[in-house]
Amino acid sequence: MALEKKTFYVTTPIYYVNDVPHIGHAYSTVGADALARFKRMDGYEVFFLTGTDEHGQKIAKTAKEKGLEPKQLADQVVERFKEVWVRLGITNDRFIRTTDEDHRKAAQAFFKKVMDTGYIYKADYEGWYCLPDEKFLLDSEVIDGKCPDCGRPVERIKEENYFFAMSKFQTQLEKYLADHPDFIQPDSRKNELVNNFIKPGLADVSITRSTVKWGIPAPVDGNATIYVWFDALINYISALGWPDGENYKKFWPADVHVIGKDILRFHATIWPTMLMAAGLPLPKRVFGTGYINMGGEKMSKSLGNVVNPMNLMDTYGPDALRYYLLREVVFGFDGTYTEETFEGRFNGDLANDLGNLISRTLTMVEKYFGGSIPEPSKKESFDSNLDIAWKMGSLEHARELMDKLAFDVVLGQYWELIKAANKYIQDSAPWNLAKDESKKEELQKVIFTMVEVLRVTALRLSPFMPFTAQAIWEQLGFTDKVEKHSFSETETAGVYQKGQKVKVGTPLFPRIEKKKEGEKAEVGGQDAIVAAQGNLKKKITQHFKTALNLKPECGWLASSSLEYPVLLAQGKYGFYVRTPDKKRVIIEVEQQKLADSKAVDGVYDHLLAETQKLFTNAG
C-alpha cells in the first residue's frame, strides 16, 4: 500500500477589491507561491489559497462613487487580480471570493456555531471606526482623531450590534502562545503584538453591522450583516469545505497564513479566539510580511507612489519581478523598491551571473560537442572543485530555510553555485583544453559539470523563477515540465538521453541599458521593440490587403496571454495569426532581432513567409 503524502496548506491574505493590485500584493503572493511550489517538488500534497475580500462599507462606498453596484466593482477588480497572478505564474489551488455561495453558507454556519456556545451576545456599540481599514478602535488607540495604522480620519458610530466575547479567551490565548512560541512570526512582530494588544487585555469585539447592507446577512433577527473581518477570516476554512469537506479534513489546520503586518493583529487575536470558541484547531503559524515602500513611505494610491507589477512584467518579465521580491527583500520585513536596486539585481544576478552561465555553457556544448551533452567521463563525472558551493544549497539546508520563509537566504546560497560555476569556467579554460586532443577527457568533464550545474539550477530555481527554470530545462534538451520533478534529483547525478541535444537560445536576461540622464532605462531597447512590432503588424496586414484582398486577424500576443510569459522567459515574443479555419497559430520571434534595426527586415520576411504558408495550406 502506497504511503499517504504529507500535506501542506498555505494561504495569502484575501485582498480588498477597492483598488487594483500593486507590488505589495505581489510580494506576499509570490512568497506564498514559492513556498507552495517548493513543497510540491519536495513531495507534499499542497493546497494553496488566495482570493479577495469583497464585503463591507468601504467597498460599497467605492462602488457608489464609481456608479456601480458593489458586486460589479468586485467582479471588475477580481479579474485584474487574476490577470496579474496568471502573469506571475501563481499556482493557487483556489481563488476564493467572500461573495462565493459556499463561503456565505460557511460564514453563517460558523457564526451560529459560536453563538450556540454562548460566546456571542447583543449590546450597543459606541466608539471609533476606521472605514479605510474596516476596523473598530478603542479610545486609547485613536490619535488626534486619526487611525494609528493608516493615519486617516476615523468616525464615531453608535449601533446595536452583536458582540463576540473575545475577552473570555484571554488566559487560553496567552497559554497557547506560550506553548506554541512559533505561532506568530517573525519574532519582532510577535513581541510588539503581545505587548500592545494581548497583555493589556483582550476586548470583546462587535461582529455585526446594523447600518451596513453590503455583507453576509447574520443569522439573527433583523437586518444585521456580519462584520467584514469576522466574515473574511472564515475564508481559510470555507475554502476547504468546512465543516464536512474532504479538503478540510485533509488540510486543516493551515501550516502557515502569509499576511501583511497591518492585519497581523486580527490573525493573532480575533481569528484564534474565534476558532477556540468554535472548538476548532488553530493554524500552525501566522507569518506577517512587511511593506514594500517607495521613497521611504508605504505605497498608497493617495500618495501616488504605487508600483504596478504589470508594468514591471511588461518590461522585464515575470521572473525578474519574482526574483527581486524574494531576493532583495527579507521576507517578513519592510523593503524599499527603487529602480536602481531593481536594475542592480537584474544586471548583476540575472544578466551577468545566471544569463552568462547559461549562454556560455550551452554555446560550449554546441561548439565542442556538436550540441550533444557529453557523457560523463570514465573517472569522476562531476568536478569536486564545486563541492563547497554545491553543498551550500543542499536540499537539507533549503528545507530548513524554506520553513522559516527565508527566501532571500535560499536564493543567496543557490547563487553561490552559479557564481562558483562562472569562476570554474574561467579557471578551467575549456577553450584551451579543446586545443589539446590529450585533454579531451578533461574537457568532457568540465562541460558535463557545467551542464549538471544548469540542470540542478533549473530544479532549484523552479519554485522561485518558474518560467526561467522551464526555459533552462528545455534548452538542456528535456521535453517535460521541470516542476513535475523532485528536489531529490538535485542530490543525484542527472539522467540524460544518449546524444541529448541542447538548444542555444537568445539571452533570457538582456542587460538593462542605461540612457542619458533624465531618461528611463530600457531592457534591450524596449522602445525600438514596441515600434518594430507595430510596424511589422502594419506591413503584414497591408501586404495581405493589397496582394490578396484579405484582412488577416493577426498581431502580437498580449502580455495577459498564457503563452506570453513562457516565451518572454526564453527571450522571445509571439506573433499570432488566425487561419481561415479559425485556428490560432503562434510564430515565435527572438527579442534581440526586434531590438536590432538591421534584423527587422529579416523578421518581416520570416513572418510574411510563415503567414502566407498558413493561408496557402488552409486554402
User: Distance (Å, rounded) from C-alpha 78 to C-alpha 20?
Assistant: 9
Residue 519, pLDDT score: 52
Q: Is residue 518 part of a domain?
A: no
- Sheet-wide strand order for 584-590: 553-556, 572-578, 584-590
The reply to whether 305 and 345 lie within a common domain is: no
Residue 28, pLDDT score: 96
Instruction: Tell me which amino acid residue 144 is.
Output: D
Residue 386, pLDDT score: 79
Largest CA distance in the chain: 91
Domain end marker among 491, 510, 540: 491
Task: Give 450: exposed, middle or buried? Use CB within 10 Å, 0-12, 13-18, 19+.
Answer: buried
Domain end marker among 244, 278, 312: 312
Number of domain units in the chain? 3
User: Distance (Å, rounded) from C-alpha 343 to C-alpha 334?
Assistant: 19
Q: What ranges make up the beta strands (E) of 119-154?
A: 120-130, 135-137
The reply to whether 287 and 351 lie within a common domain is: no
- Could you tell me which residues come within 8 angstroms of residue 90 by beta carbon, excluding any fewer than 6 positions away? 29, 30, 33, 50
pTM for the model stands at 0.82
Residue 363, pLDDT score: 95
Q: Is residue 175 part of a domain?
A: yes
pLDDT in tens, 226-253: 999 999 999 999 999 999 999 999 999 9
Residue 231, pLDDT score: 96
Cell of 547: 496582394
- Could you tell me which residues come within 8 angstroms of residue 619 by beta carbon, excluding any fewer than 6 positions away? 580
Yes or no: say if 498 and 369 are a contact pair by the CB < 8 Å rule: no
Domain end marker among 278, 312, 346: 312
Q: Is residue 511 part of a domain?
A: no
The reply to whether 282 and 344 lie within a common domain is: no
Q: Is residue 248 part of a domain?
A: yes
The reply to whether 44 and 180 lie within a common domain is: yes
- The length of the chain, given as a count of residues: 619
Q: Is residue 296 part of a domain?
A: yes
Q: Is residue 329 part of a domain?
A: no
Q: Is residue 304 part of a domain?
A: yes
- Could you tell me which residues come within 8 angstroms of residue 483 by beta carbon, excluding any fewer than 6 positions away? 37, 40, 41, 462, 466, 469, 470
- We report the CATH number of the domain holding residue 133 as 3.40.50.620
User: Distance (Å, rounded) from C-alpha 60 to C-alpha 617?
Assistant: 55
- What distance, in Å, lies between the first and last C-alpha atoms of the chain? 56
The reply to whether 344 and 305 lie within a common domain is: no
User: Distance (Å, rounded) from C-alpha 79 to C-alpha 89?
Assistant: 15
Domain containing 577: what range?
A: 524-618
Q: Is residue 519 part of a domain?
A: no
Low-confidence ranges of the chain (pLDDT < 70): 1-3, 132-133, 135, 149-150, 295-305, 377-385, 514-528, 558-562, 565, 569, 617-619
